[in-house]
Structure 1
């Protein structure tokens, strides 16, 4: 039996290794547009390779039907992943947070060991090979590049992801292949990405970073709250809390909803107590400018912008600030609202949302319900995980089920 795998990322690699271990007689050809396998694996976790998470449920994913992945997460849970890693010589560093890294702390060690496993199993790789067309004639598949065609495949796996990180040759051509075979897909969008805001304060807050509580409002309704780093940028906001909240934010932007975020700079202090502390500060040094005194509790970049929002002149002395103005200052610090107008785009996104509709794919084999012998795995499907190794774990798990199906193990 001849099998073609389009995309040598986590899902494609896992499918190839699993299938060949179960059935040595399979001929598997692995195609990828890059010079080497696993480019997105290398980029995960800021280059440290956050390859999984030890605490995973379907609640860590969004999509049209996140429960679609329950079977995959059960069949290939974290223990199964850890066992697989040991089988290729890879030891893991499991953090208290649940994030999982290679014990070597080097992403390259992961792809090196995966590459050795593929070579040992005689999986043929065709790198720097961009597949632009797939056809099915009778029971066989044909795949094509601009210069060449590869014939007589019994099965094809589409696992070449979506548009996140185009600098790594990412594209949405997998959706073109899916559409050609009658599949539908949900609109794609950048996920785990910085957010562009309507007001950027002319870049005056650029570089300010603080741990904050971030609230997401969709059409005025509170939808999500996350605590973590917020980084102000020239285009809006970034940081871990923003990346996390971006998933629902950008998803709602794609359907033209009103999206706002609220930033609480002091989540451990309620608004009234914060107002009292500011008032006490002002009384301590009444003859100093309020803008200077505020730098005792917030960044010196935030203070002038804060007073401007509250319509207080920058030359105003602390003794001249009244109770109403102090309440306005504390309110702003407690709920700094920003209207989200866009994301930074796929070029800066860690993952892509949307994709092939899971209703059209078997959740136990990941074979198309429409075309026999056609399979999908990983990011090309309408499943996207939270930050922290969840997307790679879904890629490993879905690839495993495809490989199991290829190996004809029931």
Structure 2
């Protein structure tokens, strides 16, 4: 039996290794546009490769039907993944947070060992091969690149991902193939991405980093709250908390909903307590500019903008400010609202949402319900995970199920 896999990322590699281990008689060809396999694996976790997570459920995923992932997560849970890693010589570093990294702390270790496993199984790897078209003639598939046609494939697996990180030669060609065989797909969007705000304060807050309670409001209703790092940028906001909350924010943004984020700089302090502390601070220092004294609790970049938002004179002195103005400052620090107008796009996103509709895919084999012997796995499907190793784990798990089916 002859099999083509389009995309040498986590899902495609896992499908190939699993299938060939179960059936040595298979001929498996993997095609990838890049010079080497696993480019997105290399980019994961800032080069450290957040390869999986010990605690995973459908609640960690977004899509038209997040529960689609349940069977894959059951069949290929973290323990199964750990066993697979040991089988290729990869040891893991499991953090208290549940995030999992290679023990070497280098993503290159992962791709090197995966390549050796593919090589040992005599799986053919065609790098720098951009698949432009896919046809099915009678019961056989034809894979077409710019230069050549590869014929007589009994089965084809599409693991080509979506548009996140185009600098790594990612594309949405998989959706074109899916459409050609009758599949529909949900609109794609950048996920785990920085957010552009209506007011970026002329970039004056760029570089400011603060742990905040971030609240996401959609049409005036609070839909999600996350505590973590917020980084102010020239375009708006980023940081881990913003990347996390961006998934739901962008999903609503592309549906033309009103999306706002509120930052609480001091979530452990009720607003009245914060006002009292600010008042005590200012009273303790006579005849000084409030903007200067505020830098004792917030960034010197934030202080002047804070006063401007509260319509307080930048040169007001500590003995001139009144209780109403102090309360206004406390309220602003307790709920700093920013309207979200856009994202930083696919080139700055860690993952893509949207994709091939899972209702058209068998959740146990990942075979198309519309075209026999055509399979989809990984990011090309309308499933996107939270930050923390969830996207890679879904790629491994879906690729594993495909591999099992391919071996039959």
Same fold (TM over 0.5): yes
Q: Corresponding residue for 1:185?
A: 185
Q: For 1:47-66, list aligned pairs within 5 A.
A: 47-66=47-66
Q: Corresponding residue for 1:350?
A: 350
Per-residue Cα deviation, 1:75-115 (whole angstroms, up to 9, x for no partner): 00000000000000000000000000000111111100000
Q: Corresponding residue for 1:395?
A: 395
Deviation at 1:286, TM superposition (A): 2.9
SS in 1 for 2:295: helix
Q: For 1:2-41, list aligned pairs within 5 A.
A: 2-41=2-41
Counterparts of 1:105 and 1:145 in 2: how far apart (Å)? Answer: 36
Q: For 1:184-333, list aligned pairs within 5 A.
A: 184-333=184-333
Structure 2: which 5+ runs fail to align? Answer: none
* 4+ aligned runs moved over 3 Å, structure 1: none
Q: Corresponding residue for 1:113?
A: 113
Per-residue Cα deviation, 1:192-239 (whole angstroms, up to 9, x for no partner): 000000000001100000111100000110000000000000000000
Structure 1: which 5+ runs fail to align? Answer: none
Q: Corresponding residue for 2:384?
A: 384
Counterparts of 1:101 and 1:42 in 2: how far apart (Å)? Answer: 12
CA RMSD of aligned residues (A): 0.5
Deviation at 1:37, TM superposition (A): 0.3
Q: Corresponding residue for 1:132?
A: 132
Counterparts of 1:179 and 1:390 in 2: how far apart (Å)? Answer: 27
SS in 2 for 1:311: coil
SS in 1 for 2:131: coil
Counterparts of 2:306 and 2:286 in 1: how far apart (Å)? Answer: 19
Counterparts of 2:167 and 2:381 in 1: how far apart (Å)? Answer: 21
Counterparts of 1:156 and 1:286 in 2: how far apart (Å)? Answer: 75
Deviation at 1:319, TM superposition (A): 1.3
Counterparts of 1:369 and 1:19 in 2: how far apart (Å)? Answer: 20
Per-residue Cα deviation, 1:29-81 (whole angstroms, up to 9, x for no partner): 00000000000001000110110001101100000000000000000000000
Deviation at 1:397, TM superposition (A): 0.1
Counterparts of 1:181 and 1:251 in 2: how far apart (Å)? Answer: 27
Q: Corresponding residue for 2:144?
A: 144
Counterparts of 2:192 and 2:38 in 1: how far apart (Å)? Answer: 19
Deviation at 1:324, TM superposition (A): 0.9
**TM score, norm. by length of structure 2:** 1.00
Deviation at 1:321, TM superposition (A): 1.0
Counterparts of 2:188 and 2:321 in 1: how far apart (Å)? Answer: 49
Count of aligned pairs between the two proteins: 408
SS in 1 for 2:24: coil
Q: Corresponding residue for 2:158?
A: 158
Q: Corresponding residue for 1:43?
A: 43
SS in 2 for 1:228: strand
SS in 2 for 1:316: coil
